[in-house]
A = this chain, B = another copy of it.
Amino acid sequence: MILLKNVFLDNQACDILIEQNKIAQIAEHINAPNAQVIDATGKAILPSFCNTHTHLAMMFLRGIGEDKNLFDWLQQDIFPREAKLKPEHIYALSRYGLLEMIKTGTTCFTDMYFYADETLKAVQDMGMRAIIPYLGMDFFDDNKTDEQIRQARTYLESPPSSPRIQKVLSCHSVYTCSEKLIRAFVALAKEYDTYLQVHVAETQKEVDDCLQKFGCRPVELLYRWGAMGPKTLFAHAVHLDDNDMRRVKETGTTLAHCPTSNLKLGSGQMPLQKYLDAGLKVTLGTDGVSSNNSLSMMSEMKLAALSAKNQADSVTAGKVDDIFALATRNGFNAFGLPAGQIKEGALADFILVDRNNVFLLPDNNRLSNMIYAADSSCITDVFCDGKAVMRNKVIPNEAEIIADFKHTCADLLK
């Protein structure tokens, strides 16, 4: 048991009792003689962030190939370097990414990358929560299709090493995956009652190519293939028409908004407010650092708000409460996790912020400050599943993780 003493929740100080991995009690004064007491005087509690789209191990590619066209960037900069990746690199790269997530207040994320077992190990060792897929991407090569279907089943069969971790599936996209692969992954997801992620309608080109090849748009195609539902997450979803939106709503599919990546790669702006007004479930993700180039959900919230206002041509779009929900409870809830709010019974995933930090004053509107003004310097403590992953700005093994990352980068970028 952990007892947070004198922590600010909304506009008053209170005590909060953590039992196991949950927020057990919130009250003005709590007595719990057996609890480890943490004096949180001068700090406020907020839910931690859930990053619903990233490619964690791409950390080594930050800043590579800036300001190039997508095709040149991929062909000249990204693919040749990714080709050097071996499983042993992924652990070091993932741990480094988790360091950045923790410092910026994220405790939970869903990934999409190669060698998922190495990422799982990093998540396990860092005490984080994650939803990690086996990534299918067969490039329409039958040999790969069958092999990946086999590997996906094997991946799901062995249980995750921690209740903090969910093993799920991902098909990269309709332009990199065959119908056979996607239908097989859909069937596997049903069989194992797990989640399925797909990049969908990220660019207009993807939509146009799909129309040309299949006579329908990517959302409708995935609907026909049975891939939509409350356990499906569509990443990006920038370019949806009215029928697409109807399909998303009726199936309860979740969307992961990645505003920075979409602007940086020239994919366009999601009409966020239109989606929210239509009642679609939207969450927030940073995408990989190679197209962001940060994993900060604070920075992502700011752009999500500004982009929503710009896209809707209305300053009342992208409201503070909605944007904060995207980055917190909407993300957790998309994966069935009762977190993202500070209330009794919720999972104890939260951050403490310094109420005297220069970016958090005046305290007129704390959520607005978190969205528009805060940075990593505001966050003093991060708890995941009831345990501290950062205490008073200290993350265990930080120096070793950085050294390991630099060593790995030197190997990959030489």
CA distance A303 to B315 in the complex (A): 17
Q: Which residue of B lies closest to A269 (CB)?
A: B310
Say yes or no: is A194 at the interface (Cβ < 8 Å to chain B): no
Per-residue CB contact flags for chain A residues 284-315 toward chain B (1 = under 8 Å, else 0) read 00000100111010010011011101100111
* Chain B residues in 8 Å Cβ range of A265: 315
Contact B294 A372 (CB under 8 A): yes
CA distance A100 to B366 in the complex (A): 17
Considering residues A70, A269, A362, which has the most beta carbons from chain B within 10 angstroms of its beta carbon?
Answer: A362
Say yes or no: is A405 at the interface (Cβ < 8 Å to chain B): yes
| A308-338 interface with B by 8 A CB criterion | 309-310, 313-320
Say yes or no: is A263 at the interface (Cβ < 8 Å to chain B): yes
Q: Which residue of B lies closest to A322 (CB)?
A: B67
Say yes or no: is A158 at the interface (Cβ < 8 Å to chain B): no
* Chain B residues in 8 Å Cβ range of A292: 372-373
Contact A66 B365 (CB under 8 A): yes
Provide the main secondary structure of the chain A interface.
Answer: helix
CA distance A369 to B294 in the complex (A): 9
Contact A375 B372 (CB under 8 A): no
Known interface pairs A358-B103, A376-B375; A364-B264 also in contact (CB < 8 Å): no
Contact B66 A409 (CB under 8 A): no
Contact B375 A413 (CB under 8 A): no
- Pull 20 A–B residue pairs with CB atoms less than 8 Å apart, ordered by A: A62-B373, A67-B317, A67-B319, A67-B320, A69-B315, A96-B361, A99-B358, A100-B358, A260-B302, A263-B306, A263-B309, A264-B315, A268-B310, A292-B372, A293-B373, A299-B302, A358-B402, A359-B376, A362-B406, A375-B377
Other 9 A-B pairs with CB < 8 A, given A62-B369, A63-B372, A289-B373: A62-B362, A66-B368, A67-B317, A299-B299, A299-B375, A358-B402, A362-B406, A364-B413, A376-B376
